């Protein structure tokens, strides 16, 4: 039996990860530049509204982009999305050099969000067609490292660009990132899939995708795990740590240490997953990671000093990376080619879609009931994500190397 080489040794997959990471980097630069420009033109409150409005089409169209990724060439959709976003950024740079007005920013943000929504379902559909099934786990780990690096670098780079050259420079550099991503993705040659000549109407295709997910013995509990995981994770790590640091007197430096601990843990977890291939009992592994993350969130909440809190956030990062990698690779290995785009779009909605809602809810609940109870409740939700894993563990075929039964 031939053992597949690690995913990081596959040249075209490295190009894919580089292209997607650079595209995510461009997204981060844009959102920082957009918020900076909105603050300059109006106020922080207006900036928040502009950012929220810009996210609406992205979230609404993300699920709608799934059937497109299944119907058309996913690689071309990604290339087209990058090309259009590059043009939009060049137009935004030109607007910034002229008389910038808040309504123009909103229009550009809405168009950008709509185009951006096509990229992720297409990327999720393309990714598993670049690798063998046995490579999906370490492939997901490599992608996690690339995307996480882009997220960490994007915001500081966006801040430097708007400080040096304002919105115009940030948008111009952003356009370059999308061109780089485009050039990388154009070189890919994914495994071909069979396409039905008689294309069903768009609405029928969308409903068929939802029925497929709801009737799937493995993907349905896996989607529930993803939703619970993000509900329990997003609020504490984005809002909760800042509130805790303020209440405990750790200040802005404390927030930095807490996030650094998480980042180091996440990097170590992803690197380990590059070398380790889990072939069985994946449901149990996901459950352990979810429970461990719950312990980490509770530990950071109840820690008597900053050192123990940082150790707790490092635990969250250490287990969060493998949890996301296992869920993603398990989903890819057990999704039919015909439904990859629609499955990916729903997964993106359950991760990115819940983020603004959960953050808003955690902020409000912390103000009403206190930070500690809300953080502990989030940890409980995180632990609850282990319950659907029992369904995964009961499926004998719930593995990355062998697809699960469907129906």
Q: What is the per-residue DSSP string for 308-319?
A: HHHHHHHHHHHH
Say which range, 64-78, 285-299, 304-318, has the weakest mean pLDDT.
Answer: 64-78
340-349 average pLDDT score: 80
At 1 the pLDDT is 42
Q: Is the pLDDT of residue 141 over 90?
A: no
Contact 171, 37 (CB under 8 A): no
Say which range, 21-30, 111-120, 269-278, 326-335, has the weakest mean pLDDT.
Answer: 269-278
Say which range, 157-161, 191-195, 222-226, 347-351, has the weakest mean pLDDT.
Answer: 191-195
Write the pLDDT tens digit of every residue in 164-182.
888 888 889 889 998 998 9
* Dihedral sign, Cα of residue 163, residue 164, residue 168, residue 174: negative
Find the Cα–Cα–Cα–Cα dihedral 109, 115, 117, 121, rounded to 10°.
-160
Q: Is the pLDDT of residue 400 over 60?
A: no
312-330 average pLDDT score: 84
Q: Is the pLDDT of residue 401 over 50?
A: no
Alpha helices for 249-353 (secondary structure H):
251-275, 282-302, 306-333, 340-348
At 397 the pLDDT is 45
Would you say how long the chain is, in residues? 407
At 356 the pLDDT is 65
CA distance 108 to 398: 44
CA distance 48 to 31: 11
From the list 140, 77, 62, 101, the residue with the least C-alpha distance to 356 is: 62
198-222 average pLDDT score: 80
Range with top average pLDDT, 186-190, 318-322, 386-390? 186-190
Q: Which two tokens stand for residue 239?
A: 């809002």
Q: Provide the percentage of residues in the chain whose pLDDT is more than 90.
A: 11
Q: Provide the percentage of residues in the chain whose pLDDT is more than 70.
A: 85
CA distance 99 to 83: 25
Contact 348, 121 (CB under 8 A): yes
| Residue 334 pLDDT grade (very low, low, confident, very high; cuts 50, 70, 90) | confident
Find the Cα–Cα–Cα–Cα dihedral 258, 259, 265, 271, rounded to 10°.
-170
Q: Is the pLDDT of residue 274 over 80?
A: no
Instruction: Tell me the pTM.
Output: 0.69
CA distance 144 to 160: 25
From the list 220, 199, 202, 193, the residue with the least C-alpha distance to 67 is: 202
Contact 75, 126 (CB under 8 A): yes
Q: Which position has the token pair 């990724």? A: 69
Q: Is the pLDDT of residue 99 over 70?
A: no
At 121 the pLDDT is 83
SS3 (DSSP) at 370 = coil
- Kindly report the average pLDDT of the chain as a whole number: 80
CA distance 25 to 19: 10
At 195 the pLDDT is 57
Q: Is the pLDDT of residue 107 over 60?
A: yes
Q: Is the pLDDT of residue 197 over 90?
A: no
Say which range, 37-46, 134-143, 232-241, has the weakest mean pLDDT.
Answer: 37-46
At 406 the pLDDT is 39
């Amino acid at each position: 039996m031939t053992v597949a080489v690690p995913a990081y040794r596959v040249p075209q997959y490295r190009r894919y990860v580089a292209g997607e990471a650079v595209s995510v980097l461009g997204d981060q630069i844009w959102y920082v530049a957009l918020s900076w420009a909105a603050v300059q033109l109006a106020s922080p409150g207006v900036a928040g509204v502009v950012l929220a409005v810009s996210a609406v089409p992205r979230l609404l169209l993300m699920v709608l982009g799934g059937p497109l990724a299944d119907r058309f060439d996913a690689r071309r959709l990604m290339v087209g999305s990058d090309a259009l976003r590059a043009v939009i950024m060049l137009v935004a740079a030109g607007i910034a050099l002229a008389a910038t007005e808040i309504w123009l920013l909103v229009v550009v943000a809405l168009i950008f969000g709509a185009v951006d929504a096509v990229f992720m379902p297409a990327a999720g559909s393309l990714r598993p067609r670049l690798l063998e099934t046995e490579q999906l786990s370490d492939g997901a780990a490599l992608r996690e490292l690339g995307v996480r690096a882009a997220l960490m670098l994007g915001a500081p780079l966006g801040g430097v660009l708007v400080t040096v050259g304002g919105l115009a420079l940030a948008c111009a550099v952003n356009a370059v990132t999308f061109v780089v991503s485009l050039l990388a993705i154009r070189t890919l040659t994914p495994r071909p899939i069979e396409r039905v000549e008689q294309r069903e109407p768009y609405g029928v295709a969308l409903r068929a995708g939802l029925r497929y997910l709801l009737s799937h013995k493995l993907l349905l509990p896996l989607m529930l795990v993803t939703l619970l995981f993000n509900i329990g994770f997003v609020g504490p790590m984005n809002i909760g740590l800042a509130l805790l640091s303020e209440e405990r007197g750790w200040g802005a430096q404390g927030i930095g240490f807490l996030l650094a601990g998480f980042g180091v843990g996440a990097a170590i977890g992803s690197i380990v997953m590059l070398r380790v291939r889990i072939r069985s009992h994946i449901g149990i592994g996901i459950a352990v990671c979810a429970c461990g993350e719950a312990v980490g969130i509770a530990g950071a909440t109840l820690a008597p000093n900053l050192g123990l809190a940082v150790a707790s956030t490092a635990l969250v990062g250490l287990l969060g990376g493998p949890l996301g990698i296992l869920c993603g690779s398990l989903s890819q290995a057990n999704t039919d080619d015909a439904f990859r785009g629609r499955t990916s779009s729903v997964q993106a909605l359950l991760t990115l879609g819940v983020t603004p809602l959960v953050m808003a809810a955690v902020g409000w609940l912390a103000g009403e009931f206190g930070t500690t109870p809300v953080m502990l409740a989030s940890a409980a939700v995180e632990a609850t994500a282990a319950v659907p894993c029992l369904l995964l563990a009961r499926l004998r075929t719930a593995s990355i190397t062998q697809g699960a039964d469907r129906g």
